[in-house]
A and B are shown apart, each in its own frame.
Chain A
Amino acid sequence: MLLGAYLVTVFALVTLNFSVFFLGSIALFVFAVRLGWFPLSGSSTPFTSLTPLARAGDVLHHLALPATVLAAHFATSHFLLMRAGMVSELGSDYLQAGRAKGLRDRVLKYRYAGRNALLPVVSLMAIHVGTMVTLTILVETVFRYEGLGRLVFDAIRYRDYPTLQGCFLLLTLMVVTANFLADLAYRRLDPRVAT
């Protein structure tokens, strides 16, 4: 148990320190070039007329690898936070009471302790959205993805200030929306804050 926790911490420290563009380059090399599971670049296949459904599939296919890389870059800190939360929740009194009431272990762990341990994770998620939108600049450069991050970078390079303003407005909206959604989720998870 102790060794397992130690190994996981080491693994977490290692993944936390991978820069997202290097992680992206490795993912591209392994999954797109060597294995051929994903397209090499871009956000959709150009110069094709596809049915709406096929188009959606195509976009998702292009999105899969960059999105996964960005998510993997942030997954570790969620994992560490959730683990710490679970460890501290599992020792608390209400679980003892629940156990005395005869609740099954699984219910106690996931419905009770898990729900409470999830609270800081939700807050962190909202904070991460802000960092994520800035890291899209790097990820989209690696994958040659035609998204907002790349647009910001190009607008800066070509001194295209109106585009830049628009981009930042959109990014701000995204961050604010994410924070709002996190607040809503927080309320559902912990009814005490709703009042």
Chain B
Amino acid sequence: MSALRSPLALAGVGLVTLLVVAAVLAPVIAPYAPDVPSGPSYASPSLDHPVGTNNLGQDMLSRLIWGARASLTVAVGAATLALAIGGVVGMAAGLVGGVVDTVAMRVVDILLAVPRLPLLVLVAALAGAGVLTVTVLIGLMFWPPMARIIRSRTLSLRGRGFVESARGFGAGLPYLIRRHLLSALGPLVAVEFVAVASNAVLLEASLAFLGLADPTAVSWGLDINRALAEPGIYFTSAWLWWVLPTGFAITLAIMGFTLLGVGLEPVLNPRWERGS
């Protein structure tokens, strides 16, 4: 893992670690409960409230920390689902070939053409936008690109000597996948997982920003939605500690995943580093 020594990758690891720590330890490190008033409305940052409070007097730092939990849940859940479906479809299409491959790839082609945000808005508006719905939806949206990438990698692996000789010895599909493909696909899958996670954070925040989220949830996007819906928000200094830190939290979470992906890339493809 020498590639992780580059400063960009290190920054990515740091940001994602920060996100995970905040999400896991939210009840411990958050100074207040995020959903009950703990001070005056619109309090500016002070020792009691390091990032100030919002219109309801809720502590913004606690909301930021708890918001990490919502974002990370959606990101990991959606990426896992996308990986599970995309991995199975991609490996099956690549290994079996023939009609299975053709049908799977045409389905992927069609799904890739679907615009993501409008569909997400549509389904979230009609079916309700709970955390589970949003996670599953985003996961379902990102398996096609995943399946395609895993398929092309599987195809190239299929022709390699070690897979062919295993087949020659009578290895079946499950054995091939378990024993040879999973380890060879590992780095690629890691990069793709991280890419989907970063997209999921952005989509979840965008949806919540449009007001499509569980109204009782603590979510970064929802906070920005509330803040911008507040009359005259831009003319009070509350914008500075209500919108700005929340926006930066979203940005840093997305950036953390992106940088981690950039950092993992040389691991996947060693020539990349020498070339640049």
A21 within 8 A of B: yes
**Is A19 within 8 A of B251, CB to CB?**
yes
A14 CA to B255 CA in the complex, in Å? 7
What per-residue 1/0 map shows which CB atoms of B238-258 lie under 8 Å from chain A? 010001100110110011001
Q: Which of A1-44 contact B (CB under 8 A)?
A: 10, 13-14, 16-19, 21-22, 25-26, 28-29, 32-33, 40
Q: Does B125 contact A (CB under 8 A)?
A: yes
Q: Count of A residues near B, CB < 8 Å?
A: 30
Chain B at the A interface: SS class: helix
- For B115, give its contact among A18, A134, A138 (CB under 8 Å): A134
CB distance from A71 to the nearest CB of B (A): 18
A25 touching B224 by the CB < 8 A rule?
yes
Which of the four size classes fits the interface of chain B?
20 to 34
- Residue A70 interfacial (CB < 8 Å): no
Which listed segment binds A: B36-44, B139-147, B203-211?
Answer: B203-211
Interchain CA distance A153-B211 in the complex, whole Å: 11
Q: Give the complex CA separation of A16 and B254 in angstroms.
A: 10
Q: Is B19 an interface residue (CB 8 A)?
A: no
A192 on the B face (CB < 8 A): no
Q: Hey, which bits of chain B sit against chain A, CB under 8 A? A: 8, 115-118, 121-122, 125-126, 198, 202, 205-206, 209-210, 224, 228, 234-235, 239, 243-244, 247-248, 250-251, 254-255, 258-259, 262
27 pairs, CB–CB < 8 Å, chain A vs chain B: A13-B259, A16-B258, A17-B198, A17-B254, A19-B209, A19-B254, A21-B206, A21-B209, A22-B224, A22-B243, A22-B248, A22-B250, A25-B224, A25-B228, A29-B243, A134-B116, A134-B117, A135-B117, A137-B117, A137-B210, A138-B206, A142-B228, A152-B118, A153-B121, A156-B122, A156-B125, A156-B126
Binding site for B on A (CB under 8 A): 10, 13-14, 16-19, 21-22, 25-26, 28-29, 32-33, 40, 130, 133-135, 137-138, 141-142, 152-153, 156-157, 159, 168
